[in-house]
Amino acid sequence: MVIGFIDTGIDPTHSSFADHTSEHPYPVPAHFSGICEVTRDFPSGSCNRKLIGARHFAASAITRGVFNSSQDFASPFDGDGHGTHTASIAAGNHGIPVVVAGHHFGNASGMAPRSHIAVYKALYKGFGGFAADVVAAIDQAAQDGVDIISLSITPNRRPPGVATFFNPIDMALLSAVKAGIFVVQAAGNTGPSPKSMSSFSPWIFTVGSASHDRVYSNSIILGNNVTIPGVGLAPGTENDTMYTLISAVHALNNGTTVADDMYVGECQDSSKFNQDLIQGNLLICSYSIRFVLGISTVNHALETAKNLSAVGVVFYMDAFVIGFQLNPTPMKIPGIIIPSPEDSKVLLKYYNYSLERDIMTKKIVKFGALATICGGFKANYSSSAPKIMYYSARGPDPEDNFLDDAEIMKPNLVAPGNSIWAAWSSVGADSVEFQGENFAMMSGTSMAAPHIAGLAALVRQKFPNFSPSAIASALSTTASLYDKNGGPIMAQRAYAFPDQNQSPATPFDMGSGFVNATAALNPGLIFDSSYDNYMSFLCGINGSAPVVLNYTGESCWVYNSTIAGADLNLPSITIAKLNQSRTVLRSVMNVGGNETYSVGWSAPFGVSVKVSPAHFYIASGEKQVLSVFFNSTANSTTASYGRIGLFGNQGHVVNIPLSVIVKITYNTTKT
């Protein structure tokens, strides 16, 4: 299997992409015809039997005068880090040690560690990317013969025109699907508001981001026995020894005042401080909005602490940084970032209360506050997971610029996307915290999509004749609806304090649910859709004929019957407007052994549902048509959700989410 990545390139020197880590040789698949560009940044020998293709696309960027070859690398080399990270999530080698800040965090593996990687760099550190370069990359990947395309990129605005589906990237991906390629795209990090989806079309498999249960947390124990939790991939102080706490603003040298430098509390410059005071103590620094913006950095503060011989650093959260989610940050010396403004106040209150001042001069004569830092290297697996992250883009899928609802379920699925360890480029600049490291922990739907790209490679390996929509169906219908404790998967509903603002996830938060890789390899039944079906859907959109002709070179006259979105043979049903009643058909094909299925369902609020037949026998390789009858029982403009379950007597369970947005009913009274 060959997975094509359209991203910021790759660092070919990383051990996650070496081809000698396994006893088994890696033959390059015969169906792949791609090449490796050779440049000064990407010398001959950069590719191997694992990394089998690498090109870069920048014609549009160069035409617009924004390409800076010294910063952006006119080659497939990754100057950012993002592309190296996503490629290793899907297809990085198995058993690669994750060593960051000199500490070993375990071993990494991609989802499909024996698959091959082809890289199509169309995004750049300095300016992002242009649709024309992305389209060129997609077309080249399809010509080269990749099996799967992974896109951890989304447009930065909703496409104009008659429908969101008619944008250059979605249309280029339709051509790839026509060629039999499974395409995966990140949903976007624009959640949690409804209709924030940035991946629109039914032929694209759209992935949202969920948490996993591995959490790194450290803590600080104050001299008054209060323990405050925090983050930091950092060592603890030695043997639970209590050290004196000193705030940066109380340890200035004689030539510095807070009035001169209002940011001095951020500990960015060691020349501003009195080493005699700080030496052997814990330095307290403030973590402000400037850290979020990258103007100040944790690394600079750690450098300051080291230069002044501090034992460690304690960062408290500035009150203006509200609801910002911190990734654990690697630190070579003992350290902690307290992410909660409330907890930060507890620390500062204790610190200020413990200061002894001269009654006359008000000068500090004794720093009385003590603390010890407990290290944050050890992972804890106690949190409930998965949950849908607040930033993960949500449905319903917007059909056009007026935000009309498309009858296409988005996202399709969620996968792990938060705090993901994966390979990092040697010059990766996307994350200041992990600069110079071989691995980085990143969060976003960008990290969720390649999990699915790798798992799709495993599905295609097992079922070589599956169409892209059949792979999508296998992943969707087998997804899990429950967290690890057996409760419903929860969705975070707010950017600020997301864990205090959550409720059970709906299909517009998580699509069919959380990916279940093992079940996807044995789906039982699949829903199949063809390129012609997608064309019939596009031709059914009002005013679409000239746009379809422009993008595909095909006339809508060829497709004598058109279909609505709800009538595409997808493993989900979304009805934007249920005017009294509607019947939707679905066809399933048995890819398992002979089996008898019984059908169960729960209806959305304000709707009655009936599925026929309610029981059926289906032989291996045969098809069965299901009729789903919807009837509106209450007027409502809020979306409501239901589910159809097909339960096979051989153990297969096929899960079909339902969503109905607007319900219209006419009450008639007898006279």
Mean pLDDT of 486-497: 92
Cβ–Cβ under 8 Å, residues 284 and 245? yes
For residue 386, what pLDDT band results from cuts at 50, 70 and 90? very high
pLDDT grade for 261, boundaries at 50, 70 and 90: confident
Mean pLDDT of 515-541: 97
The CA distance from 492 to 495, in Å, is 8
Q: Other C-beta atoms within 10 Å of 378: how many?
A: 10
| 153 contacts 123 by C-beta, under 8 angstroms | yes
Mean pLDDT of 601-605: 97
Q: Please check the confidence at residue 566 and state whether its pLDDT lies above 90.
A: yes
Provide, rounded to the nearest whole percent, the portion of the chain with pLDDT above 70: 98
pLDDT of residue 572: 98
* Three-state SS sequence of 89-142: HHHCCCCEEEEECCEEEEEECCCCCCCEEEEEECCECCCECCHHHHHHHHHHHH
| pLDDT confidence of residue 666 | 83
- For residue 463, pLDDT over 90 is answered with yes
Whether the per-residue pLDDT at 366 is higher than 80: the answer is: yes
Instruction: Print burial letters for 175-213: b (CB count within 10 Å at least 16), e (below 16).
Output: bbbbeebbbbbbbbbbbbebbbbbbbbbbbbbbbbbbbb
Contact criterion met (CB below 8 Å) for 187 and 487: no
Q: What does the pLDDT read at residue 257?
A: 79
Tokens 């106690």 sit on residue: 382
DSSP three-state, residue 607: strand
Least confident range from 299-313, 397-411, 491-505, 578-592: namely: 491-505
Residue 669 is which amino acid? T
Please, what is the average pLDDT of the chain? 94
Q: What is the mean pLDDT of residues 107-117?
A: 97
pLDDT of residue 668: 54
User: Which pLDDT score, from 0 to 100, does residue 323 have?
Assistant: 60
* pLDDT tier for residue 72 given thresholds of 50, 70 and 90: confident
H or E element in which residue 370 lies: strand 370-374
Q: Is the pLDDT of residue 26 over 80?
A: no
Region of poorest pLDDT, from 172-176, 182-186, 297-301 = 297-301
Q: Would the pTM count as exceeding 0.75?
A: yes
- What is the DSSP secondary structure assignment for residue 433, as one 8-state letter? G
pLDDT value at residue 132 = 96
Mean pLDDT, rounded, for 128-153: 97
- What is the pLDDT at residue 450? 98
Q: From CA 36, how far away is CA 182, in angstroms rounded?
A: 23
Predicted pLDDT of residue 322: 66
Is 367 within 8 Å of 355 (Cβ atoms)?
yes
Confidence check: pLDDT of 597 > 90: yes
Model pLDDT for residues 211-255, shown as the tens digit of each residue? 999 988 899 999 999 999 998 899 999 888 999 999 999 999 987
pLDDT value at position 325? Answer: 67
For the annotated catalytic residues, the residue numbers are 7, 82, 446
What is residue 482's predicted lDDT score, i.e. its pLDDT?
Answer: 97
Q: What pLDDT, on a 0 to 100 scale, did the predictor assign at position 126? A: 83
Q: Which domains does the chain have, with CATH numbers?
A: 2-209+387-523 (3.40.50.200), 215-380 (3.50.30.30), 530-562 (no CATH), 568-670 (2.60.40.2310)
pLDDT of residue 477: 98
